[in-house]
Homo-oligomer: A and B are copies of this chain.
Amino acid sequence: MYGMPGKANPASDAADTFASPEPPRPVAASRPAAANAGARCANCMMRHICMAASLEADDVEQLDRVMQGWRTVRQGEKLFRAGDPFRSLYAVRAGSFKTVVTSERGKEHISGFYMAGDAIGMDGICEETHTSDAIALEDSVVCVIPYHLLEALCRELKPLQRQFHKMLSAEIVREANQMMLLGNMSAEQRVATFLLSISARHRERGYSATSFVLRMTREDIGSYLGVTLETVSRTLSKFQQEGLLAVQGKSLDLLNLDALDAR
């Protein structure tokens, strides 16, 4: 099923793609944390790659307690925008996002794509203000983690502290690798690297590493890779002609991962 295009309803698509055990449960910001019984990391498929990774069951429960709840974000809507005051981090529970940074000149650049289990918003910590927009690529659900509570819990739970630091550091490493891509690689290498990265992230999450649907447009991919949308399109066509993959709109089948890696 996964990897087939043409779903009528992106919300149900997101739900079956990521198999959320419960339906999204949006919560008012003012709702007390104690009432938040539905959102439980223990039940979440993504707990082993998310904030809860390597926590004992007791500690996961503590994390649940500081989690404010879920928030649904419809396709195209913004989870936050640059300039918003920073209060919470977000963990993607279902769906996916892109983050967009805008220069003073008004030029936009996509700085990252985030899927289930990824954390968004860590750019906001340093100035207590978000520096990018986070936009849902499909109807999505995030866990809302108030930063001051997470901070306090990190002082209590060493494994949580360690995991949080690792997530911050992993983002630094990811961006450093992206800088390498943007600074040194040919268009073909950029596209190949991008596809392999998506593939690997799907594999980590238990989905097919070779057959998937791109949630973003060619323009989004181009922006992320520092090339034009035409170049993305041409490169995909070329890879298809060479038998490295099969494209059909946003659906992709990678037919030769090694050959892609050799680009």
Contacts and interface: CB of A to CB of B under 8 A. Distances in A.
Nearest to A170: B126
A93 to B, nearest CB: 22
A158 interface: yes
Integer count of this chain's copies in the complex: 2
Q: How large is the interface on A (under 10, 10 to 19, 20 to 34, 35 or more residues)?
A: 35 or more
A7 B182 CA distance: 36
A183 interface: yes
Contacts of A166: 125-126
Given A151-B165, A155-B154, A165-B125, A103 B184 contact: yes
Contact of A132 (B125, B168, B170, B176): B176
A4 interface: no
A177 B226 contact: no
Interface in A152-174: 154-156, 158, 161-162, 165-173
Contacts of A103: 180, 184
A109 interface: yes
Contacts of A158: 151, 155
A96 interface: no
Interface of A: 101, 103, 107, 109, 111, 122-127, 131-132, 151, 154-156, 158, 161-162, 165-173, 175-180, 182-184, 223-226
30 contacts: A101-B176, A107-B180, A107-B184, A111-B176, A111-B179, A122-B168, A122-B169, A123-B169, A123-B176, A125-B165, A125-B166, A125-B169, A126-B165, A126-B166, A126-B167, A126-B170, A126-B172, A126-B173, A127-B173, A132-B176, A154-B154, A154-B161, A155-B155, A168-B169, A178-B179, A182-B182, A182-B226, A183-B224, A183-B226, A184-B226
